[in-house]
Every structure is written in C-alpha cells, then in structure tokens.
Structure 1
Amino acid sequence: MGAVQPSAQQLIGARIREHREAAGLSQAELARRVYVSRQTVGNWESGRTLADVQSLVLLARAFGTTVDALIGESDPNAALPTAEDRHALVRLLVTAGLLLGATLALVFASHLISLVRPSDDVTDAVRATLCVAALICEIALLLRALPRLRAFMRSHGLKNASIAASYLEGRDASGAVPNDVLFRCFVPYWKLWLLALIVVAFGAPALLVG
C-alpha cells in the first residue's frame, strides 16, 4: 500500500512552519504580525485550516519571501478561496436561510392560529396575511436566493455541501473531512434535516394544541 500523500493545505502549513522557524519566530509572535490568534497559526501549520490570500500576503511579508514560495506548486485558485468570495457565499447562505426560516415560521404561525382560534373575519384575515407573506418569501427564495446560490457554487466548483463548508473554512476540500459533529452529522445530510424542519413547521402546531 502506497504512502498517503499530504493535502495541499498540509503542504502549505508545513512551509509556513518552516519559514517561521527559519525566521526565529514563535507562533505567538507570527500571529501578532499577521493579525490573527496563535491558535490560527497553529491550525495553519498543522493543516487543519488554510490561510486565505490576505493572510498569505502578510505571512510572505513577515518571512521576507513571496506568496508563491509559500504555496509552492499547489494551485492557488483551487485551494485558496479569497475572503471576499467566502463573505459572498456567507451572504448568499444567510439570505437563503432567512427566507426559508421566514417561510416556515409564517406557515407555522398560520397553522397554529387556525387551531387555537375559531374561524371568524379577523382570524381569516390574519391567516390570509400570513399565507401571502409566506408565499412572497417562498417566491424570493426559489426565484432569487437559490438560483444565485447555485450559480455561485457552480462557478466556484462547489459540487456539494461538504465542499462548500470546506470552502467557507478556508480548507482544502480534497483533504480529510474534519471529525466533528457538523461535518459528520449535519452537512452531508442537510436535505434530510431540511425535510425534518418542514415537517415540524407543518405538524408541530397540531401537536402543541393537542
């Protein structure tokens, strides 16, 4: 069986450590120079996370070298999402999440009102308003937020939720999946969790009243 090849972020982390030691800097001293925490530097060097482009520029200045020297032969476009790109993805995810949450909350409220209040003009008007608001949120989600999110993921080669999560963390998606609850239980099965959330939104009012 052949030896396991280190991932791109592990190679870059090793180069950061080599340059730091050659410069005679501790992790804490380097962290102060590049405006991050000592733990962040440790995560870079161990290959747990990947420095973004701005941090690599600061690291190169601190070491008196170039970003290319830190990256080596790895592909910076594939391995190093910029902070701006990560922020753009966060905004798209937050927008989609807020619209989805608002839709489910409005549906939940509409069902709950229908169960706890007798039908009359006021109740019907409130329910109609909630349903219209939920429909508006759903249309915005389906016709604007999700298409923009899918377009971003497609243009950046983010083929699934796990790769997108790695991208957000600045990690090399080709590396090992972190052994934590988020990546083991939630990210790969996000569609099932979403389905469960929808079922709760529709079924919880009846259970609460019952």
Structure 2
Amino acid sequence: MEIGERLREQRKARQLSQAKLAEALHLSRQSISKWENGTALPSFANVVAISELFGISLDELIKGDAALMDHLKSNDHFFSPVGKLVTIGISVGLGALIVLTLLHVSIAHVGDWIALAELIGFIGLVCTIKWETLNKSLSNKAVFWGVIWLAALTIPIVMDILRGIVEGLNSYN
C-alpha cells in the first residue's frame, strides 16, 4: 500500500475531510489531494507531522512505499533554504570572528559595520520572504518563540536608542 492510500485510509477512519487535515498540517487541501492521488509525495517533515497527528509510527505510515522512500532519501534537508541560511550564516559569522581575532581587531571598531550588515540583511530577508507561505507554516508554538526572540532583540536596541537620545539632549543643554 502506498502513502496516499494509507493517508486516505487514516483520514477517513478519523472522519476528517481533506480540508480539515490540511488545516491541521498547515497546508493546502490540494496538497493532501495530490498525496492521496499519488501525483505528489509529502516531505519528510510532513510525513512526521502526519505520523504524530494520527498517532501511528513512521514505519506503519511509509513501509512498503518504495517511491516515498526514494523521495525522502533524495531530499537532503541539510541543504534546504533554511538549512543553508543557518549553516552558511553561522559559518560566515564564526569565520569573520576568527579573522577579526587573528588580526587583533576589536569588535567595538567594526560594530557599526556589523550593525549595517545586520540591517541590510534583515531588510533583504523581509523583502524576499514569501509571507503567505510563511504564515501558513507557522504553528502557535513557533509564533510564541518568535515573539520571545523578537522581544529579546528589540529591548536592547530600543534602550540603546533612548540612551543616545537622552545623552544627546543632555549634551545639548
């Protein structure tokens, strides 16, 4: 039995429509339909999510589906866009830190340039993200942790701006 047939069987056993299953997985109904009809295969992350949602093991879900196994083996998630962003971003940052340390350059001397690179990178990222796709893929937990992360980033920046304004006003008087 292929993954599409198993998925349809499990979905119907739980009396879920394709739309309800898609909503639970943060996907479109068309994706579920394509999987069930065998015209597309789910990603590994979606297979895991389906397994958790239905409370069945991955083995039960994918056993015997050679096409899905080949599909999952061929998708190297280490080089997905997010994987590249994290891996290359951290590598470049650590590499730059090592070079600056070897050249005995203080971070304080390049702090403004780093801040400029952060701003340009952030603006570029915000302008190129497909927000509709991102919004559909974020779970409530991801939003919660994103809020904490953004708040933690915002507090020192705003404090620094306010301190600069106060110091500027005090030196002007």
Q: TM-score range by the shorter chain?
A: 0.3 to 0.5
> Normalised by the size of structure 2, how large is the TM-score?
0.41
TM-score by length of 1: 0.34
**Between Structure 1 and Structure 2, which shows a larger proportion of helix residues?**
2
